[in-house]
Structure 1
Amino acid sequence: MTRPPTAAQRRVLDAADPVTGRLRGTETQLAALVKRGLAFRHPRPPHDHFLTPAGHRLREEASTPEEPAQAPAVRDSGVFAARIGGEEDAEPGPARAREVHSAWQGLLELRRMTGAGGATDRPCGWERAHLVQAAALALEAAG
């Protein structure tokens, strides 16, 4: 097990952008987070630093209060699913905000790739075939 991050590194982790995980800090702090596997340096300019999944987990663990140990009855298949009603885990959090943002960006990219002239203002074939999920994603992405 690795050592916990220092107070300065913890402040950098806590100040990360909640959606993208973009970090701001000194080069020394960022390099130490990269060394611990909590961040990575983007290969393209401007070479910003972003949280890894382990960094996101550490950040979320510190921000959630301790609760009694209860096994959640949520199945985690690793695949994004829009909330269309009836879900038991309706608590929004930073991880869900990242998932929704990523899914919405993916849908816009799908529109761009399949639309005439790269337009993103018209629904794509997937949206027409999955109306309920597409509408739920659009509503959740809108906030």
Structure 2
Amino acid sequence: MSRSPTAAQRRVIDAADPVTGRLRGTEAQLAGLVARGLAFRHPRPPHDHFLTPAGHRVREAVPEEGGEAVVRSAAAGGGVFAARVGGDDEEAAGPSRVREVNSAWQGLVELRRMTNPDGATDRPCSWERTHLVRAAALALEAAGHRPAGRGSDGYRVRETPQPEAVAVYAPDGEALRACAATLERAGWQAGEYTEPRTRARYLLASPRRA
């Protein structure tokens, strides 16, 4: 049984040609995949590397622990990406952040396609259901909503005691309704509620199943 690929090797596998399984990567990455039985070196020039059947299975399986890698490495350059949930310690976003968020969102849409049983991209996948706060925050940020941060107000996504539900707060009713519309387009269902003690309005949002 082959060892699991490293994060760098996983990115090489994910980037393989969808039809031929042809791989691109460093010599060390490709050699490592060969050693794990996930790739082979073609005997004829130019001696390209291709996925083995085991490599194809790894690519198609997208295990649950790999879900976060897909989203996090989707940012340009494969760097670490974290969705902004809104907090006083978060910095304002710059142009590079916008590109990273868009790339991460496209990675998440692709993860939906690969892991939802019917290949649907219009509703959340299992990774999102186990990372509710980050998944909802990514959907909001990718749509252009601004998270709360230092010296600025915006959305805040927080955990709730309810299973498969997050709370979303916004500066005012209009912003809250805009967040609800964005989440619904992203495959979530959202309802507006009032906190009994503070009378603050918020959204209770959960991933849609069908």
Considering only CA atoms, is the larger Rg found in Structure 1 or Structure 2?
2
Higher RCO by CA contacts (8 Å cutoff, separation 6 or greater) = 1
- TM > 0.5 between the two? no
Greater share of strand:
2
Greater share of helix:
1
TM-score normalised by structure 1 residue count: 0.44
